[in-house]
Structure 1
């Protein structure tokens, strides 16, 4: 496997993501921001952060697969969440947990950025991913 994920001593331990990714592969996969669209381009889970997080993860998994990658190859994730507040974290995690087995989620290094809005009304979350494969 070309990616090793670490939570080094001296940094907070977390099960949700890892602090460091070490990649040795030569082919990079950059997945554009994925939102909660279904295959027909329709927004799903209106007003439901957990539902939108789950669908966005499914879409990232599809994009990775098309490039010959999985979440095991991901070295970086960026989340953009509309009107983010710390109190939203349990609902955000619920969306991750909803699809963790389905997409074989691996907790890569991640950043969560609160934004005032995304490109379309109703879109609550967007997920970008970078993977490295041999």
Structure 2
């Protein structure tokens, strides 16, 4: 049961941020619902602040992973949706989300999320032993 993070020659390598490919063997796949910056009562946190929302999202992901018997080392894929995306937000968002090895990753600028005020949503796939 292993996870192998691949950054093959010929592809741009940014291993501290993303892995170009991830291979897992002998594991159960866990899909998390998209996580946003809400508290346990469903209230928006970090209004207008991408960094604050990313930190709350990372905490929510930690809780959801733990409920599934997983941790950040088990994350193999993330999709990040960002409202009002600007290139300078990339390190801010990844600073909050890099609590384990870099997974395969996609960042998608979007016009809006499900409700006004939410700036980031993160979809996670983990591979649990």
When normalised by structure 2's length, the TM-score is: 0.90
Out of 108, 119, 122, the residue aligned to residue 124 of structure 1 is 119
For residue 88 of structure 1, what is the aligned residue in structure 2? Answer: 89
**Superposed displacement of residue 91, structure 1:** 3.2
Runs of 4+ in structure 1 deviating by more than 2 angstroms, as ranges, are: 87-96
Q: Superposition RMSD on alpha carbons, in Å?
A: 1.5
Count of aligned residue pairs for this structure pair = 128
Q: Deviations over 1:9-61 (max 9, x none)?
A: 11111111111101103311000000011122211111110110111111111
- Structure-to-structure mapping, 1:1-134, within 5 angstroms: 2-14=2-14, 15-96=16-97, 100=98, 104-134=99-129
Which runs of 5 or more residues in structure 2 are unaligned? none
Higher helix share: 1
What is the DSSP-based 3-state SS (H/G/I as helix, E as strand, rest coil) of the residue aligned with 1:33? coil
Which deviates further from its counterpart, 86-95 or 10-19?
Answer: 86-95
